[in-house]
Amino acid sequence: MKLHSYFRSSASYRVRIALNLKGLSYETVPVHLLKGGGQQLTPEYLTLNPDGLVPVLITDDAPPTTLMQSLAIIEYLEEIHPQPPLLPEKALDRAFVRSIALAIACEIHPLNNLRVLRYLVRNLKVNEEDKTLWYRHWCEHGLASIEKILVRDARVGKFCYGDSPSLADCFLVPQVANAQRFECDLSRMPTVMRIHETCMALDAFVSASPPKQPDAEN
């Protein structure tokens, strides 16, 4: 499989974690989101993904199939390589795990995407300080909500669900990494941070992290 990925993209990071947890090998195809106006916007890349976003997974099927959207990719990996499972067995528990992932994928990350921050600056003339406040606002609000959801639920263990990593952790860790990079206040989220720490003790998470990627920069 080939993963079109950018080292700092948290959506790419989610898929890298899932691939590692499943023990699946893949080739990284770096897509630099900033160089030359953004390699995700070249005609060649837009043929792969008309939305101009990473990640894209190219499968080993004949002919190879192009998969988009990190959650759709991870659900696909779960279906074709069920071991180790990233979703629990029972439907109610699966819904819980997916809802944590989606609270990150839908309520936090889209607001802090590169193209959204660019729109704020270029079209709405938002200054650097207000852009940073915007970033932190959605990150802190969203992670604080997830903290409340996690702290009250008996299904939470060492990880978001029980004592082994799930799809929810694949989403949580990259979002915390982004929050740390933008110096968000994470003091109100002890459960989120405890789970993040537990994950970052595992090689599957560490080797998926931005600094470990072939296209990493300082």
In the complex, least distance from residue 68 CB atom to a second copy, rounded to whole angstroms: 5
Q: Does 130 bind a second copy (CB under 8 A)?
A: yes
Q: How many angstroms separate the Cα of 16 from the Cα of each of 43, 56, 121, 149, 155? A: 25, 11, 30, 25, 25
Q: Does 137 bind a second copy (CB under 8 A)?
A: yes
Q: Which of residues 84-123 bind a second copy (CB under 8 A)?
A: 91-92, 94-96, 98-99, 102-103, 105-107, 109-111, 116, 119-120, 123
Q: How many angstroms separate the Cα of 88 from the Cα of each of 92, 98, 137, 165? A: 9, 10, 32, 10
Interface stretch with a second copy, choices 21-29, 134-142, 170-178, 202-210 (CB under 8 A): 134-142
In the complex, least distance from residue 164 CB atom to a second copy, rounded to whole angstroms: 20
- Pairing mode, strands 27-30 and 66-68: unpaired
Which tokens is 6 given? 């950018």
Q: Which of 38, 52, 85, 162 binds a second copy (CB under 8 A)?
A: 52
Which tokens is 198 given? 């537990």
Q: Distance (Å, rounded) from C-alpha 185 to C-alpha 35?
A: 30
Residues in contact with a second copy, shown as a per-residue x/- string from 27 to 46 under the rule CB under 8 A: --------------------
> Nearer Cβ to a second copy, position 112 or 202?
112
Q: Which of 73, 189, 202, 208 binds a second copy (CB under 8 A)?
A: 73
What size, in residues, is the chain?
A: 218
Q: Which of 44, 62, 80, 163 binds a second copy (CB under 8 A)?
A: 80
Spatial CA neighbour of 57 closest among 22, 16, 10: 16
Q: Which of residues 146-205 bind a second copy (CB under 8 A)?
A: 146, 148-149
> Nearer Cβ to a second copy, position 51 or 217?
51
Q: In the chain, which residue ranges form alpha helices assigned H by DSSP?
A: 10-21, 43-48, 70-80, 91-107, 114-122, 128-151, 167-181, 190-199, 203-206
54: Cβ contacts below 8 Å, ≥ 6 apart: 4, 5, 6, 9, 11, 12, 31, 33, 40
Residue type, 186: L
Residues binding a second copy: number (CB under 8 A): 47
Residues making contact with a second copy (CB under 8 A): 50-53, 59, 61, 65, 67-69, 71-73, 75-76, 79-80, 91-92, 94-96, 98-99, 102-103, 105-107, 109-111, 116, 119-120, 123-124, 126, 130, 133-134, 137, 142, 145-146, 148-149
